[in-house]
Amino acid sequence: MFETYLEIFWSFAKAFAVGGAICTIAQVVINFTDLTAGKILVVFMLAGVVLQGLGVYQYLVDFAGAGATVPISGFGYLLANGAIQGAQKGIFGVFTGALSAASAGVSAAVIFSFLMAMFFKSRSKKN
């Protein structure tokens, strides 16, 4: 029984450490560069694509689970992983594999954004 709790704690600790490290790197980039938030998001997403293309990001996912898949670099990993698996079906599979791998997450984001827009009124920030 105690081993189960220790295993769960260890899984949480690994996810927190890896996710926290990714977020720390992003915060350092924000603090010490003039890059906009959009550019930083694109850089991290492309880093996930490149690292998965090189076969490195999968080790991080296997080690940390959600700590590696939840940040935006995990979205890049998901796209690259889908493209790699789709490439086995041919050149058209490269494009459809990436889109089908990410379709559930993108669909959920669109649907929940629409639902929130239906129930809440948007307003601009007041400085």
**Residue given tokens 């992003």 in the structure block:** 26
pLDDT of 127: 59
pLDDT of 3: 81
> Torsion-angle region of residue 90: left (phi > 0), alpha (psi -120 to 50) or beta?
left
The span from the CA of 20 to the CA of 12, in Å, is 12
pLDDT of 98: 86
Residue environment code for 42-72, b if the CB has 16+ CB neighbours within 10 A, otherwise e: ebbbebbbebbeeeebbebbeebbbbbbebb
Query: Going residue by residue through the chain (127 aa), what tens digit of pLDDT does each one get?
Result: 778 899 999 999 999 999 999 999 999 999 999 999 899 999 999 999 999 999 999 999 999 999 999 889 999 999 999 999 888 988 888 888 888 888 888 898 899 999 999 998 877 777 5
The span from the CA of 56 to the CA of 67, in Å, is 15
pTM of the model: 0.79
pLDDT of 101: 86
Per-domain residue ranges for the chain? Answer: 2-119
Question: What's the DSSP call for residue 126?
Answer: -
